[in-house]
Structure 1
Amino acid sequence: MPGVTLPSVPRYSPGPPTSEDLEYADLAIIDISKAATPEGRAELAITVREAMTNFGFFYVINHGYDQTQTARITDISDVLFAGVGQEEKKLYEGTMKATGSYQGYKLRNYWHIDGGVRDQVEHYNIHRDVNKREHPQPIRPFLQEIEAFARHNHFNILHPILRLLALGLELDEEALVNIHGYNAPGETYVRFMKYYPRSEEDETRTKNVWLKGHTDFGSVTILWSQPVSGLQILTPSGKWKWIRHMDNALVINAGDALEFLSGGFYRATIHRVVQPPADQRNQPRLGAFYFCLADDAVKLVPFVDSPVLQRVGIKRRFSDEQAPSMETWRRGRTSAYGQTELKKGIDGVVEEEIINGVLVQHYN
């Protein structure tokens, strides 16, 4: 915010990236600044289509925030965890199970991970309209910056990506943008999230899994890459691979809504969080996200007029008549996650539940 004196904030130091020799997923890198021209979009659309049909993940660079701006967002993120006392956090605790909305705090020990072990992760979720509800006092001086961060994610990152995804389906460029409005009723939100180190006993009982393998329920998730490793994806070959940290890059992944809207053409990729490597084992893992959902009223049916889908066919998880709206799907997924009794699949590894008549799988 040039020309504006910003409120001071304690500096947060995440420490250096890991030096461990990890097996990383080979993800495409998208220079989003090239999406400013029709020629650039045509070129990038090919790469994005390939990335989303193979891995469902890719990196974005040159997104419009420099390293200093990104570091400040990280500093602001930690205010919600290190700068707010437990009693005040409880005043702003979300009611996920009752309302199907993540707005407010998700405090530690809410989700069941495995073997009776509950999570050690906190997050705070802020609707893109930051005035939609009241927030803890320590974060209030930074709400204007958080709103600017939300708008930047929405208009300068999400919408260009949605145009590339639409081009990949040979649809009108605005087909997906038109159902991801900034002011339309919906739950697209900023999330600040902090994982805390766990006891050795908990690590053993969960086989070092901090957040079991799952798909996101929205359209697109934007993760601002941070140095402490832990994120892994399940590759098409069935192997878990790490996501490498890249300074000031974004990690983009598809969620259920995009898979439904694209008739299964774009993959909602299974991902999980595990204990960081040995040289980062005692570090908290702090991150900033933008979770992007279609407008609440959108029915999650495929774009059947896509020439691509007409050629390759549509993979349906439900009939068009039974397709949930975005609101119904996100409420069902949000209220159930980490709270319901899961059933073991046939292989004894994958866990399953039925939400809105749709089979949802978790990988542990």
Structure 2
Amino acid sequence: MQEQLDWADLVTIDLAAVGTPEGKRQQADILISAVREKGFFYVKNFGISQERVDRQFALGKRLYELPLEEKMKYVPRGIDEGDVKGYLPAGRTVIDLENNIRDQLEIFNIPKFNGDFDHGHHPAVITEKLEEVEEFARSLHAEILDPLYVLLSIALELPEDYFTSMHSYELRSEDHLRYMRYSKYPPEINAKLSNWAFGHTDLGSFTLLFRQPVAALQIRYPSTNEWKWVKPQDATVTVNACDALQFLTAGYVKSTIHRVTVPPKDQQHVDRIGLLYFSRPHNDVKLSTIKSPLLERVGYTENEFENGGNPVPTMEEWTFAKQKWQAKVGVKGDAGTILPGFNEKVYA
């Protein structure tokens, strides 16, 4: 990379250090500082080899080499109502209104393998590797997410299993593994663009992001509203905190605004492939402020819904309300009420 970029200063959680109570406490302190101040952090030593990650990237590349006609067979029937399981084609969002330029973002989401979802309708490239995909998804949950939820529980002075019990892999939630591609634009189009995807927050608890060494992700610091680049870092996974944790902690944990901007000029000639996992509480979890000794001591006791006297949604209600809103939003600056008590907008 030739350009000098303004990188975000992010901490790294070391899961190799959580084998003792002292190690857990130390990493819990690092985690809570990260999700309070920046919302993004790295995780290392999580027990999943780079080879396994690389195989999933290779699978994603094969998936997106399929003809568009083939991929379109897997568009969810309820896409306009917030169903995102399967293939979501590019071009659904206008990212430059003046020049009528649409996004080139393709998404393929694979839900949990816990018996709640049908896995009989995937492209052959996925079906052939379905056992490996399941093993990878379950490993992400067990090797990365569960330890993070234990650390978060410790930080908020709760029983260690507090958050793992509301994020069990075997119970129904809208978790999914995602293969994602931002296809490159011609130089003359990039010259007109500010971003490839507008600023937004994720709707669940934690998002895991495995990245290629392509700079495009930026976060907005909550304290200053400055946009900073997130550096691809070897042997780590990038993690961000999301809406559900913000609701459950009455804003003590920040759901960080992030976007995909135009890459540096020396990296604009490649497609950007992403491999992600979106973790969410069980569908029936009510997004009320949790009873945490720490939160009560520092005065974080009511979230947006409770403070306005509005009904508090379940995770399932929040998920489909926001996904439905996202399906309809396509122009920078569009705003709207997702549910009574919560207004959302698209950030530049």
TM-score by length of 2: 0.92
* Counterpart-to-counterpart distance in 1, 2:159 and 2:270: 45
Aligned CA distance change for structure 1 residues 343 and 362 (closer, same or farther; 3 Å):
closer
Q: Which residue of 2 is the match for residue 322 of structure 1?
A: 311
| 1:171 positional shift | 0.9
Give the ranges of 4+ consecutive aligned residues of structure 1 lying more than 6 Å apart after TM superposition.
Answer: none
User: Secondary structure at 1:27's aligned position in 2?
Assistant: coil
**1:337 maps to what in 2?**
326
Question: Contact conserved, 1:212 with 1:272, CA < 8 A, in 2?
Answer: yes
What residue number does 1:41 align with?
24
Q: Deviations over 1:87-112 (max 9, x none)?
A: 11111013454442211011111223
Greater shift in the superposed pair: 207-216 or 91-100: 91-100
Name stretches of at least 5 consecutive residues in structure 2 with no aligned partner: none
User: Residue 277 of structure 2: SS of its match in structure 1?
Assistant: strand
> Where do residues 240-251 of structure 1 align in structure 2 (5 Å cutoff)?
240-251=227-238
Contact 1:225–1:249 (CA under 8 A) maintained in structure 2: no
Give the aligned partner of residue 122 of structure 2. Answer: 135
Pick one of 22, 25, 34 that aligns with 2:8: 25
Residue pair 2:94, 2:330 contacting (<8 A) in 1 also: no
Please, which moves more after superposition, 158-167 or 128-137? Answer: 128-137
Equivalent AA in structure 2 for residue 231 of structure 1: L
- Aligned residue type for 1:325: T
1: CA distance between counterparts of 2:330 and 2:196? 18
1 CA distance for matches of 2:282 and 2:188?
42
How many residues are matched? Answer: 338
Q: 1:114 aligns with which of 96, 113, 130?
A: 96
1:208 positional shift: 2.4
Work out whether residues 195 and 285 of structure 1, in 8 Å CA contact, stay in contact via their aligned partners in 2. Answer: yes
1:37, CA displacement in angstroms?
3.0
Partner of 1:355: 338
Identity of aligned residues (%): 36
- 1:6 aligned residue: none
1:194 is displaced (CA, Å) by 0.7
The one of 149, 156, 165 aligned to 1:162: 149
In structure 1, C-alpha distance between the alignment counterparts of 2:337 and 2:189, rounded to whole Å: 28
What amino acid is the match of 1:298? Answer: V
Q: Which moved more, 1:213-222 or 1:87-96?
A: 87-96
3-state SS, counterpart of residue 255 of structure 2:
coil
CA RMSD of aligned residues (A): 1.8
Change in CA separation of 1:272 and 1:93 when aligned onto 2, cut-off 3 Å = same
Q: 1:302 aligns with which of 286, 289, 293?
A: 289
Q: Could you tell me which runs of 5 or more consecutive residues in structure 1 were left unpaired when the two chains were aligned.
A: 1-17, 345-350
Between the aligned partners of 2:263 and 2:172, the Cα distance in structure 1 is: 37
2:93–2:329 contact (8 Å) kept in structure 1: no
8 Å contact kept, 1:95–1:102? no
Q: Deviations over 1:246-302 (max 9, x none)?
A: 112100101100100111110000000011111111110001000011111111011
Match of 1:57 in 2: 40
Tell whether the 8 Å contact from 1:226 to 1:245 is kept in structure 2 after alignment: yes
Counterpart-to-counterpart distance in 2, 1:29 and 1:147: 27
Contact 2:248 2:303 in 1 (8 A): no
Judging changes above 3 Å, is the alpha-carbon distance between structure 1 residues 135 and 318 closer, same or farther for their aligned structure 2 residues? same
- Contact persistence 1:234–1:241 (CA under 8 A): yes
| TM-superposed deviation, 1:188 | 0.3
Q: Deviations over 1:200-223 (max 9, x none)?
A: 454355x32111000001111000
- Which deviates more from structure 2 when the two are superposed, residues 223-232 or residues 112-121? 112-121
For the pair 1:171 / 2:155, whether they are aligned, the reply is: no
